[in-house]
Chains A and B, each alone.
Chain A
Amino acid sequence: MPDPDLKRTILHPLHVALGAKLVPFAGYEMPVQYPMGVMKEHLHTRASAGLFDVSHMGQVILRPKTGMAALELGLEALMPVAVQGLQEGRQRYGLFTNVAGGILDDLMFANRGDHILIVVNAACKHADIAHMRAHLAEVAEVEPVTDRALLALQGPEAEAVLAGLVPQVRAMRFMDVITVDTLYGALWISRSGYTGEDGFEISLPEARAEDFARTLLAHEAVAPIGLGARDSLRLEAGLCLYGHDIDEETTPVAAGLSWAIQKPRRAGGAREGGFPGAAQILAELETGAQKQRVGLRPEGRAPMREGVILWDAPEGGQAIGRITSGGFGPSVEAPVAMGYLPAAMAAPGTRLWGELRGKRLPATVCTLPFRPSTYKR
């Protein structure tokens, strides 16, 4: 029975027509898998190209009231990330932090010349919009984009497929953004995604979204991919899922996201600090966080999923951490997981034990990602 409280994306009828299994996700009824199944969808994306409906995510335009410079500085007051210096036509990963240095949401933002486009997680979008309206009122109009779909086309064939419709994409590198007028209206394209694969994210008018999706799906190389495979793809790529691997209790440093904090925002930088939680985060950048996100390879075939408690000994000993994402990695052909451990125990090669159905099974700390990414830098 359809749940009347769940929202639907504009591609809902297409998902149904394609035989998707639909589940509630972040307030939306979304495809978790298509008839191909999670494993094959995952492998297809790595080998060819997968099309994902991510229209549930929040697209928000920040339109400057008094110029881009003021907007950039305003946004820097909410994130430990350099916004100033991001060139027109480029996108960057960002994080909203709270006063304790915890993460309110992670996001992508793009300099589109006369405005900034932000894409945030579906589950956080209302809070994020309120947060931006509360803090950016002086410098920006915060305009949620409610009439555009968002698709991701990911995998080694993504460029060839999309170039058939939009030849300009061949010249794009990872994190470039362009706008192209097409038969399908104005496409806002970025060369990015969340699978560890090369690929694109395409925002387009809702009215043309199904046509566009069907055109892409008509290619032999392209299959529709659900949230199940999206999760295993991002897990193998070592990417954080908000609400699981990162949340208000985890700092960017603990989460291994220090790379997202550019030099100008760090101690001694031109625009040092000045973001929520700066004292905590800047200190952790110097000395390290108490706990650290790590990759884990369970020995054997049994997956260790979110919530599994990690111990420092096969019997007795101490509970030292917890798995925040885990499952089977179809491309690495083994179970993979991420979790948090005290910094002293987080070195790759450290052996520990995950408690599964009352038994402690061994796992080894490893470097992330589990599978190298194939971005076109």
Chain B
Amino acid sequence: MRYTEEHEWLRVEGDVVVVGITEHAAEQLGDVVFVELPEIEAMVAKGDEVCVIESVKAASDILAPVDGEIVAVNEALSDTPGLVNEDPQGDAWFFKMKLDDLSVLDEFMTEDEYKDFLG
């Protein structure tokens, strides 16, 4: 598992990477009431706003952590956005991306580095 400074987690499954938000991010957001997911087969560039999360407090974006193609989205979040609070690092993944080169993930933080980053 790798982590971004935007509080996303990235998990490699075969040749795709699964993206979600960390427990810390979910806690900061508060109760999530709406999730807008990207389109499957969309080509996205690092930094693109690919998802919208609305909590009881505010709207936030999830950015594409790397360049690639969206190959799957977690439809369960559309009907049950509260899953993001219940299981942010498990069932509440947001989307899966296919990358040309998985080695780009090496630039992201390890779990220990992320813990240090949170302080």
B34 touches A38 (CB 8 A): no
Question: Measured between alpha carbons, how far is A33 from B28 in the docked complex, in Å?
Answer: 12
Closest to B52 in A: A357
Q: Residues of A contacting B58 with CB < 8 Å?
A: 305
Give the tally of cross-chain contacts (CB within 8 A).
41
- Is residue A301 within 8 Å, beta carbon to beta carbon, of the partner chain? yes
Q: Which of B30, B33, B78 contacts A303 (CB 8 A)?
A: B33
State how many angstroms separate the Cβ of A244 from the closest Cβ of chain B.
15
Q: Residues of B contacting A38 with CB < 8 Å?
A: 30-31, 56-57
Q: Residues of B contacting A335 with CB < 8 Å?
A: 33-34
- Range for the number of chain B residues in contact with chain A: 10 to 19
Interface of A is mostly: mixed
User: Which residues between 21 and 42 of chain A lie within 8 Å of chain B, taking CB atoms?
Assistant: 32-33, 37-40
- Is residue B81 within 8 Å, beta carbon to beta carbon, of the partner chain? yes
- Is residue A250 within 8 Å, beta carbon to beta carbon, of the partner chain? no
Closest to A32 in B: B57
**Can you list 11 A-B pairs, Cβ within 8 angstroms, ordered by A?**
A37-B31, A37-B56, A39-B33, A39-B56, A228-B30, A228-B57, A301-B34, A301-B78, A302-B54, A303-B33, A305-B58
Those 10 A-B pairs whose CB atoms lie nearest each other, nearest first: A39-B31, A328-B33, A38-B56, A301-B34, A302-B34, A303-B54, A37-B31, A328-B56, A38-B30, A39-B56
Measured CB to CB, the residues of A under 8 A from B are 32-33, 37-40, 228, 232, 301-303, 305, 327-328, 330, 335, 357
Measured CB to CB, the residues of B under 8 A from A are 30-31, 33-34, 36, 52, 54, 56-59, 78, 81
